[in-house]
Amino acid sequence: MTNTGMIVSKVWSFADVLRDDGVSYGDYLEQLTYLLFLKMADEYSKPPYDRKLPIPEEYNWENLVSKKGAELESHYTKLLRELSQAKGILGQIFTKSQNKIQNPANLYRIINMIDKENWNLMGTDVKGKIYEGLLEKNAEDVKSGAGQYFTPRALIMAMVECIHPEPEKTICDPACGTGGFFLASYDFISNPENYRLDKEQKEFLKDKTFSGNEIVASARRLCLMNMFLHNIGEIDGDSSISAVDSLISDPGDRYDYVLTNPPFGKKSSMTFTNEEGKQEKEELVYNRQDFWATTSNKQLNFLQHIHTLLKSDGCAAVVLPDNVLFEGGAGETVRKKILETTDLHTVLRLPTGIFYKQGVKANVLFFDNKPASKDPWTKEVWIYDFRTNVHFTLKKNPMKLEDLKDFIKCYNPENRHVRKETWSEDDPDGRFRKFSYGEIVSRDKTNLDISWVKDKSLADLDNLPDPDILANEIIENVEAGLESFREIVETINDE
């Protein structure tokens, strides 16, 4: 086994040991984040780096490794509390931190494991592999709910490949979760097969390319550490990930690219206690002058916000649920404005069974922002149906990048203005088909939820998918129906 393999194996084996103590993958991941950060900070404070870092001597790594037993546990708990008050990235990494490893012997063993390695000398691909693996395991832990911050890596990589981000351009994710889009973009730009970066371009990629928002402290912490382990940003620099709700206002900054998968769930709301002591929900409506429609629909608000964030020639790729494509009222208003003010050139219809939240039917919208014009910018919308007759499950048959290669080929990132339909009268099951602006706006409510490929399971009962895939699809459809009923009940109760 290679040295890399041994480290990965050690880190993973501790996750299993701690599970027996009732420590979840998420809790282990958080503790690992705190300890790794302290160890790497200690390495940076020594030759050849000799950097002065804002960690008090009392709470540095050397002080921590000298403790054992009950003394270690109390010192570690105090350390977490004190460092959470710090400024910059340090304070954000340790925000709301708590010791979840109650067994001092296990805590000592993890500290000892981390202490034996020189993490700064380790390749970013190794550190990234360890951390990304734990993030994925954490997402699989259904009870923790962490899956909602995890977008399938194959999908992220395909979106980045299509957008084809260039060096010295800025990238934003206003709902960045654990930072998946940042890391895939970093890997794409830094890949010598795509670009040969000079010194200035490398510095720009490290320090000035990425910006984002994440309101959930635990997800933001994981994102910051994930970026740090991939050599993005500085350990003693300012954080590029804001804790502010990105929908509250126009931040003023504009970006070359926006890549994002906003949180699932249609409505934004807050819970408060009324005068009778009962809990009530109040819909969050964002009144912004830059928005075309005022709505409590979180997805429509994110789509409008993304349009605001783009430079006049900026590009976006965003994962959104089906309701954004067909909903009336504010939905129709937003769709018409997107078609008019941007070039909404591509829609990828995603299959079910790829997200950790079940019942989600989603799409990727690709659009390029344009300067003001009296004529609509969208001339035709190319739709790729990757949903009909496509079956995935998270464990037995997860979606891989290879599965999306045909879409990437049809998208044609090198020159998306040169494309060919795979659909025709002779091949009605071709998955790539274009629709003119006139065809789209003539549809009821400017409906973009378009499918044409025949569902084989309805016609060919002898060749049905495997039972586990069928079962998962039934669950997906039931969950989607339940979600719709919940929204109806909420609307009735609000009225």
Q: For each of the domains in the chain, give its residue range(s) and CATH number, in order of start.
A: 3-122 (1.20.1260.30), 133-454 (3.40.50.150)
At 465 the pLDDT is 63
What is the pLDDT confidence band of residue 273, given thresholds at 50, 70 and 90? Answer: very low
Looking at per-residue pLDDT, the higher value among 178 and 188 belongs to 188
Which residue, 180, 184, 250, 173, is CA-closest to 215? 173
**Quick one: which of 114, 98, 95 has its CA closest to 106?**
114
Q: Is the pLDDT of residue 5 over 70?
A: no
How much is the average pLDDT of 189-216? 96
CA 246 to chain centre: 14
Q: What is the pTM of this model?
A: 0.85
The rounded distance, in Å, linking the Cα atoms of 323 and 492 is 19
Q: Is the pLDDT of residue 455 over 90?
A: no
- Whether residue 346 contacts residue 384, with contact meaning beta carbons closer than 8 Å, is answered with yes
**pLDDT above 60 for 154:** yes
User: Is residue 159 within 8 Å of 364, Cβ to Cβ?
Assistant: yes
Q: Which residue has the higher pLDDT, 178 or 305?
A: 305
Taking the CA atoms of residue 123, residue 128, residue 131 and residue 132 in that order, the dihedral angle to the nearest 10 degrees is: -160
Average pLDDT estimate for 309-330:
96
DSSP reduced 3-state for 375: coil
In the prediction, which pLDDT does 53 show? 79
Distance CA 335, CA 303 (A): 9
Segment 282-293, tens digit of pLDDT = 567 888 999 999
What's the CA gap between 324 and 331, in Å, rounded? 6
Distance CA 474, CA 468 (A): 10
What's the chain's average pLDDT? Answer: 86
Q: How far, in Å, CA of 135 to CA of 157, rounded? A: 16
Note the pLDDT tens digit of each residue in 346-370: 999 999 888 867 667 899 999 999 9
Terminal CA-to-CA distance of the chain, rounded, Å? 64
Per-residue pLDDT, 76: 96
Cα torsion at 410, 413, 418, 420 (round to 10°)?
0
